[in-house]
Amino acid sequence: MLAGRPSAHTTARPPARLSALSLVWRTLVTFACLAVLLVGGLTRSNDLFPFGVLDQFSRGIPPNGQVVNTCLQGVTAEGAVIDIRFGHRSVGIERADVENQLPAIQEDPALLEPLAAEYDRRHPDDAPLQALILCQRITQLRDGAAHGEEELVEVTQWER
């Protein structure tokens, strides 16, 4: 009770019951979400994000293993090699999405062509790319810490 004021009494009403239609709708949505989650897990695909497995978070790296970071480099008409960041502002796709398609890209490097086109479209003041190099930067670990120089390995290359 506040100074001089009577306390307010509220009467509790029983909770409202859901209609049959509301109950069916909620049940169907729940089963649909569970089905998408199950399909994403069984196919080990990130295509159904956020219901996929999110591979990048699903396993650890041994303390004496290696960290592999997929990278992208562009080659200009002058032969200069430039590092290109993955992302929607640069090439229109995230690194994890490229990593999920790595075997297909290795088999058909022409799958990198849309990335070059997107980079050129988003960087109109720069000279068009003549080639894209899909690469991996490999860092060796010793006792969980980086050890030695990182190694740059070319995975595949697309040329215009």
25-59 residue pLDDT tens: 999 999 988 887 788 777 766 666 666 666 655 66
Task: Judge whether residue 128 has pLDDT over 70.
Answer: yes
- pLDDT score at 49: 65
User: Strand pairing partners for 134?
Assistant: 72, 156
Q: What integer pLDDT is reported at residue 88 of this predicted model?
A: 85
- Top-confidence residue, 124 or 53: 124
Closest CA to 97 of 80, 78, 77, 112: 112
Mean pLDDT (the chain) is 85
CA distance readout (Å), 41 to 30, 32, 34, 37, 48? 17, 14, 10, 6, 10
Q: Residue 5 — pLDDT band, cuts 50, 70, 90? A: low
Q: Which residues contact 117 (CB under 8 A, 6 or more apart)?
A: none
